[in-house]
């Protein structure tokens, strides 16, 4: 059976590159990719037509709203969750267990269950990292076994309103997903 990635995208730079840089390379490696977006990310990708393109490529609906209680789950069970890109907001909510949208609901549950790996790439700037609660959020997620992609080798922090000067570390993200399911 093809492994399934539950991919959550939030409203940070790089979310517009999810299809070519993450969904397609994983599909070429034989993965199925079930995409869920935060509500803000969904408005961004709906405006560009990317939601339809992702649905065509994956053969699965892109989720951003909760299902009705009587509805079937529209996505298959997953072998790994990846939150890419993760805003500072989404990281903080995950650390605190706040599940006020579909994307957070499924990842919060996965973190609590601890049966499937969770990979998170915080696409943040230096000001986000200086927020006083930031380090405790990262520590909480690490303590729960979340695979966090942080550090200067992965994503050197830039000041707000300056360009990061690099693409998202797509290769490291793909390698982290592949490594997470092997361990």
Ligand X SMILES: Cc1cc2nc3c(=O)[nH]c(=O)nc-3n(C[C@H](O)[C@H](O)[C@H](O)COP(=O)(O)O)c2cc1C
Q: Which spans of this chain sit near ligand X (rule: CB under 6 A)?
A: 10-13, 38, 40-41, 87-90, 123-124, 128
To ligand X, the closest distance from the beta carbon of 29 in angstroms equals: 27
To ligand X, the closest distance from the beta carbon of 168 in angstroms equals: 10
- Between 60 and 157, whose beta carbon lies closer to ligand X? 157
- Between 13 and 61, whose beta carbon lies closer to ligand X? 13
To ligand X, the closest distance from the beta carbon of 10 in angstroms equals: 3
To ligand X, the closest distance from the beta carbon of 2 in angstroms equals: 28
Q: What is the 3-state secondary structure (H, E, C) of the chain?
A: CCCEEEEEECCCCCHHHHHHHHHHHHHHCCCEEEEEECHHHHHHHHHHCHHHHHHHHHCCCCECCCCCCCCCCCCCCCCEEEEEEECHHHHHHHHHCCCCCHHHHHHHHHHHHCCCCEEEEECCCHHHHHCCCHHHHHHHHHHCCCEECCCCCCCCCCCCCCCCCCCCCHHHHHHHHHHHHHC
- Between 128 and 137, whose beta carbon lies closer to ligand X? 128
- Between 38 and 58, whose beta carbon lies closer to ligand X? 38
């Amino acid at each position: 059976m093809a492994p399934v990635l539950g991919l959550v995208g939030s409203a940070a730079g790089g979310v517009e590159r999810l299809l070519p840089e993450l969904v397609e390379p994983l599909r070429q490696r034989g993965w199925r990719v079930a995409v869920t977006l935060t509500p803000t990310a969904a408005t961004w990708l709906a405006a560009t037509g990317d939601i339809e393109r992702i649905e065509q490529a994956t053969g699965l609906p892109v989720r951003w709203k909760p299902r009705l209680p009587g509805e079937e789950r529209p996505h298959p069970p997953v072998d790994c969750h990846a939150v890419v890109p993760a805003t500072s907001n989404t990281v903080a909510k995950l650390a605190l267990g706040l599940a006020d949208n579909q994307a957070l609901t499924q990842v919060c549950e996965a973190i609590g269950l601890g049966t499937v790996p969770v990979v998170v790439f915080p696409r943040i700037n230096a000001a986000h990292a200086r927020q006083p609660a930031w380090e405790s959020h990262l520590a909480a997620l690490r303590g729960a076994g979340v695979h966090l992609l942080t550090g200067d080798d992965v994503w050197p922090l830039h000041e707000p309103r300056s360009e990061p000067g690099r693409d998202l570390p797509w290769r490291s993200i793909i390698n982290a997903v592949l490594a997470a399911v092997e361990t």
